[in-house]
Amino acid sequence: MLLGKIVGLTTTKEFGFIAEARIKKLDYVSIKDSEGKWVLGIIDRVIAERGKTKGYVKVIGYRDKRGFLQTPRIPFSPDTPVYAAEGDFIKKILGISDKGAYMGLLEGYDIRVYLPVEHLIKKHIAVLAKTGAGKSYVAGVLLEEFAENGVPAVVIDPHGEYHTLSKENKNQKELRFMERFGIEPKSYQKQVKVFGINKGKPIKLNSKLSAEEIISMLPKVTEAQKGIIYSVVKSMEKREYTLRDVIDEVLSAKSNAKWNLASMLESLANTRLFSANPTGTDELVKKNQISILDLSEAKPELQSIVVMKIADELFAERKRGKIPAFILVVEEAHNFCPERGFGEVPSSKVLRTIASEGRKFGAGLMIISQRPARVDKNILSQCNTQIILKITNPNDLRAVIDSIEGATEGLKEEIKDLPVGVSLVVGVTEHPLVVDVRTRRTEHGGEGIEITEREEKEGGVLLFKKVTKEDDIKRIYKGVEDIVLINYPLWRVKTKYKGRVLFLYIDGITGEFVFQKNGFLERTKNIRLFAEMSPSERAVIVYLLNQKAATIEKIAEDLKMPVSKLKETVKVLLLKKYIETDGYMFSCKFDLDVPDFYQTQVALKPEKRSLKGITLEFMVPSSVAEKTLSVLGIGAESIEEVYYPYWIITRKGSKFAIDAITSRIEIDLIKWISRLL
Ligand SMILES: Nc1ncnc2c1ncn2[C@@H]1O[C@H](COP(=O)(O)OP(=O)(O)O)[C@@H](O)[C@H]1O
Ligand SMILES: [Mg+2]
């Protein structure tokens, strides 16, 4: 179909034409060059000018005899007719293959875009976009394709959103789009295997750790402590040993530095992640298997340790040819391989190694992040394929543009304007492709969908209504440079206490109790730690809190605990510095400030509303909140999500959290919130 004729100045790379038919940005056009070859172009801009529509075309080129993409050497002549390009021609010139991972349709066309599977394993992929733009969704699409093509994948899943690959997509809205993409609902239950902390098959890490591994897993290690670790590990090198053995050896060291070290190792061992029977690499990487490592119940530090240890072993075994080629998918990559300056975490090193050497050995990496500016630049630049969805943050845009070879400023504008679910695919073909990501065959497990579904069903989520307005805050705190509203997650637990119905709140991020005192929200400090102790440890703590001080014999008698068992418990508690002793009497140092539930009930009532602002995700699942309650002897009748509003302001470059109901500055809160934003 004729679209119009070329006018004005032309070069070999671009030209304009007056439209005689309807044209849109990103439409493909074909033109014959002066040598008679058909050339493909794409409409880059459309401008309406004095009643006329003018299209500006970027020339893509033609394929030469050897199949290479070439651009004409002579500019197009004025008056050359511009035609709408035909599907087959577009495919041929762009180099879109006919098989591989079916990702979606070329935006505006009925042309399926397949990514070559080989390419995906051999060259790393980055999926980059702001929150809610569709990263996890497109990652889900690719995982479905890996399953279709038998490509083994291991998914680092910090939010527990990928297990739904085993469920058919039943979302009504999405079912309607399936026909357009030519797909049908399907479950990959047989191929998906979930490993987790408390769900799926338990993840177990090899307990025989090298000195370097131990050091990188601990938060802060002094030189003296490093010395102890090296000598202890060296002394055991020749035999099998576990983390427990390391602790015992550390305790028999001479140096005083051992106490803190043993206590740190103790908390590592208490995670119960380490075992002499670790999860095998051959269990994780198998032909036709997608392994999901659901880390949603682990704290961030622990998540990074798991990634470090597992990625390390997978890569080592792959190098030795013990497991097939695979792809490692890392969600929230900024947390697992942060850019220097944003902190070093245990998993940084191995991910850097896989990024630079993985391709040689058939260990592919798929990095997913909403903060490209905070992902290790070296890793990003090793990703030859980029799937970019909408990004608006200038720093993140800069980082993305910098990581793409030959990217133009125009590309930046394009990325800002991408609608949800539409992606720019760079690096698969010579020219970036704009792909309308297909609907998933399986259910999407991401957060977004739950919130929208709930809103539709029940007209909102439970929310405490903010009292202060943006303007109020700006008036109270002068010189505010930036202000955002956040919705802070809390678990609302309905319970009966002393015969009356009571609503209690548990912080959805820290797992601590939230209560009200003098009108302000307060949080307990150590409930989470307390709940994680063993029953005998808890018994001793509670006893000593009530008794102030007691001897071993007295404690044993009152708690009806055998002295030998008690001694073991006491040893651990001493190590953790939760109790102390003068050698005879034991007393409690653990600060357990359980409030009187009845006196400190949160008096405010949440209402059903729709969420505005930034919503922080729950990091403590309801099951853990319930467990904490049960430790304190409270049963839950029901438990539901609610959100509490805070303003986050930036003043003189520092961030503050302000309770949006009481207007109080929350000093402690900002420390952990800012890590999440
Ligand atoms: N290609 C798509 N088709 C249909 N819906 C999509 C698509 N991409 C994203 N969405 C919708 O947008 C929401 C957010 O996408 P998600 O992938 O979870 O975002 P994020 O980038 O934060 O990982 C999803 O819940 C889904 O409803
Ligand atoms: Mg996501």
* Rounded Cα distance, 627 and 635, in Å: 9
Indicate the SS3 state at residue 663. coil
Q: Which domains does the chain have, with CATH numbers?
A: 2-94 (2.40.10), 124-203+287-448 (3.40.50.300), 205-275 (no CATH), 459-523+597-676 (no CATH), 529-588 (1.10.10.10)
User: For residue range 207-262, what is the model confidence (pLDDT) as tens digits?
Assistant: 889 999 899 888 888 999 999 999 999 999 888 898 999 999 999 988 888 888 99
Cβ proximity of 206 and 177 under 8 Å: no
Q: What is the pLDDT of residue 187?
A: 96
Please tell me the predicted confidence (pLDDT) of residue 270.
85
Q: What is the pLDDT of residues 113-132, one digit of tens each?
A: 999 988 877 889 999 999 88
pLDDT in tens, 8-35: 999 999 999 999 999 988 899 999 998 8
- H or E segment and range at residue 43: strand 38-49
Q: What pLDDT shows up at residue 39?
A: 97
Nearest 5°: phi and psi at 395? -65, -40
Q: Is the dihedral of CA 576, 581, 584, 585 positive or negative?
A: negative
Please provide the DSSP assignment of 339-390 as one string. PTTS---TTHHHHHHHHHHHHHHTEEEEEEES-GGGB-HHHHHT-SEEEE--
Give the residue whose CA is nearest to atom 11 of ligand 1.
134
DSSP at 24: -
Question: Residue 456 pLDDT more than 60?
Answer: no
Name residues contacting ligand 1 (CB within 6 A). 129, 131-137, 174, 420-421, 437, 439, 444, 446, 448-449
> Is residue 80 scored above 50 in pLDDT?
yes
The answer to whether residues 433 and 423 touch, using CB atoms and an 8 Å cutoff, is no
**Ligand 1 atom nearest residue 440's Cα:** 3
Residue from 130, 137, 329, 370 whose mutation best tests the ligand 1 pocket (most atoms within 8 A of CB): 137
* pLDDT at residue 316, rounded to an integer: 96
Residue 675: is its pLDDT beyond 80? Answer: no
Bridge partner residues of 19 (DSSP):
4
For 528-582, write each residue's pLDDT tens digit: 888 888 889 999 999 998 888 999 999 999 999 999 999 999 999 998 899 999 9
| Mean of pLDDT values over 182-192 | 96
**Are 111 and 96 in contact, with CB atoms under 8 Å apart?**
yes
Ligand 1, atom 6: closest residue by C-alpha: 421
| Mean local confidence (pLDDT), 406-425 | 85
The more confident residue out of 14 and 635 is 14
> How far is 207 from 220, CA to CA, in rounded Å?
20
Residue 337 and residue 351 in contact, taking contact as beta carbons nearer than 8 Å:
yes
Beta bridge partners of 645: 487
3-state secondary structure labels for all residues of 108-163:
CCCCEEEECHHHHHHCCEEEECCCCCCHHHHHHHHHHHHHHHCCCEEEEECCCCCH
Tell me the percentage of the chain whose pLDDT exceeds 70: 98
Which-ligand-closest: CA of 138?
1
- For the segment 290-319, the average pLDDT, to the nearest whole number, is 93
Strand 290-294 relative to strand 153-157, pairing: parallel
Q: Which ligand is nearest to the CA of 171?
A: 1
Residue minimizing CA distance to atom 9 of ligand 1: 134
Arithmetic mean of pLDDT over the chain: 90
How far apart are alpha carbons 387 and 432 in whole angstroms? 10
- Tokens for 325? 């080629």
Q: What's the CA-to-centroid distance between 143 and ligand 1, angstroms?
A: 15
442-451: pLDDT as tens digits: 999 875 433 3
Work out which ligand 1 atom sits closest to the CA atom of 368: 23
Closest alpha carbon to 117 in 385, 515, 402: 385
Span 379-397, average pLDDT? 92
**Looking at residue 453, what is its pLDDT?**
32
Instruction: Determine the distance separating the centroid of ligand 1 and the alpha carbon of 464, expressed in angstroms.
Output: 27
Ligand nearest to the CA of 439: 1
Confidence band of 677 (pLDDT split at 50, 70, 90): low
Dihedral sign for Cα 315, 317, 319, 323, please: negative
* Rounded Cα gap, residues 154 and 544, in angstroms: 46
pTM more than 0.75 = no
